[in-house]
Structure 1
Amino acid sequence: MKRMLLLASSLVAMAACTAKPTDTAADEAKLRADAAIWWELYNKGDADGVANLYAEDAIVLAPGAPAAVGQAAIRAYLTSDIAASKAAGLTFKGGDISGVGIGGDQGWVSGAFSVTDTTGATIDNGKYLSLFRRTDSGWKLIRDTWNSDRAPAQPAT
């Protein structure tokens, strides 16, 4: 009888320790949606809204800029970058998402983007990679980087 009680207690304890299953398809859909929301908020000029998509310890690795470490630095970077984009009449558009994946409490999205001017002409194309972490308040960006498809400018001779 003691063995049965011990076995039953052990099984209950092991069942309580197993990770709850996750809905990978729903998580991937959420990351795709968050990628679309990023572009929408950026083009609205909502630096706070975009910054709130990032975790407190996130890092943005923007081309031609120092790493923005932490949500406050990311907010400052976005405020400046959005203002410059607005002044230049630029709009950023998310393109095809080339990949999305989930591994435990981490996920990633990669895709393409384009930049258009006030006439609607495409002036740049590029790609991005965004890493996410599942938190108590949902998925948050933890690393974000992107770059242009254009070759770097040649040095003056």
Structure 2
Amino acid sequence: MSIKSLFHAAVIAGLLSTPQAAMADQMQDDAQAAADRWDQAYNAGEVDKLSNLYASDAIVVTKGKPQSGEDIGKFFSSLKSKGWDDHKTVVKSAQPKGDLVIVTGRWEMTGPGPDGAKKKFEGNWVNVLEKKDGSLKTVLHTWN
């Protein structure tokens, strides 16, 4: 194959992959926007707004036991009342799978340390979002 043919093949491959790359970037931006809405609602203590970010059949897998329905809002309200604040999520990847988007990233927040002083905690985070009626709602949420 000549250099000219290789160049043309590379240009065509680049043009064909550009729409997919743009779609992937948009999906990650949309996932980050959803995570930002979650952070804002949690940090403001707006439990109703936070609860509305979850699908009606959502599951939040916590260290204790999985939460669903009204218990999701109660769980996060309790966490907030115990001094867990300043939540921030950074999306690292967003992979579409039909009407679902598998989102991974990092989380951090401050909470009570062993001596009672505020301490920064952080870890990995996974959300499965469902695309429905033009919005993304969480159907599965977990972290470590």
Q: Is TM (by shorter chain) over 0.5?
A: yes
1: CA distance between counterparts of 2:55 and 2:74? 15
Q: Which residue of 2 aligns with 1:112?
A: 106
Q: Which residue of 1 aligns with 2:76?
A: 78
TM-score normalised to structure 1 length: 0.65
Matched, 1:98 2:92: yes
Instruction: Calculate the aligned-residue CA RMSD, in Å.
Output: 2.3
Matched, 1:48 2:48: yes
Unmatched tracts of structure 1, length 5 or more: 1-22, 148-157
Superposed CA deviations along residues 52-93 of structure 1, whole A, max 9, x for unmatched, are 100000000022x211122x121121221221225xxx3222
Q: Which residue of 2 aligns with 1:126?
A: 123
Q: Between the two proteins, what is the percent identity of the paired residues? A: 26
Equivalent residue letter for 1:113: W
Q: Counterpart of 1:45 in 2: which secondary structure?
A: coil
> Displaced runs of 4+ in structure 1, greater than 6 A?
none
Q: Per residue, is there more strand in 1 or in 2?
A: 2
TM-score normalised to structure 2 length: 0.71
- The alignment covers a number of residue pairs equal to 118
Superposed CA deviations along residues 77-110 of structure 1, whole A, max 9, x for unmatched, are 1221221225xxx32222x422111121000211
Unmatched tracts of structure 2, length 5 or more: 1-22, 113-117
